[in-house]
Amino acid sequence: MKTAISLIFFCWTACYAQPLSSTELINNAKEYDGKAVVYAGEVIGDVMVRGDFAWINLNDGENAIGIWLDKESVKEIQFTGSYKAKGDQFEITGVFHRSCTQHGGDLDIHAQDIRKISPGKLVKEKLHTGKRNFTIILLGILLLVLIFVRRRGGRPSQLRRPAKLPQE
């Protein structure tokens, strides 16, 4: 009976709860410790498979929180955020741990439900023509300076030491 009540509460929380921000979870970690929470963000970094489970990091734009989830759930992840891609956006419902004994005291969420909000995509780097042109101009100036120095004899003239005066 107790399990059924907690399952109903968990499902109700998952259906109607708004995602909490990472800052709210971190600042109020004692309040949320051991409770079901909803958290959403972009998958960043690597997906780290550990046996039947996996670690992912979700970044909500403020901080990233480690998520411990079933290995099968990570099959939905197509893109992880990096310099080359914008990661998939997910909403996680799970139990928040401010100091997880199972994972060495780390702050994490043990996911019980995962839902993709939006897919990620590859990011195409744009070439900034202003920066390119500035670099070409600087290289041209450097080349002209090198040519000028070479024509003057290769090295700047060394300072000549004054002759020693005879001692009296």
The answer, yes or no, to whether residue 16 has pLDDT greater than 70, is: no
| Alpha-carbon gap, residue 87 to 119, rounded angstroms | 7
CB distance 71 to 53 below 8 Å: yes
Instruction: Please state, in angstroms and rounded to a whole number, the distance separating the CA atoms of residues 31 and 6.
Output: 18
Residue 14 has pLDDT above 80, yes or no: no
Q: Which residues are CB-contacts of 110 (< 8 A; sequence separation ≥ 6)?
A: 68, 69, 94, 95, 97, 100
pLDDT tens-place string over residues 103-123? 889 899 999 999 999 999 999
DSSP 88: P
Query: Residue 46: which residues within 8 A CB-CB, separation 6 or more?
Result: 80
Tell whether pTM > 0.75.
no
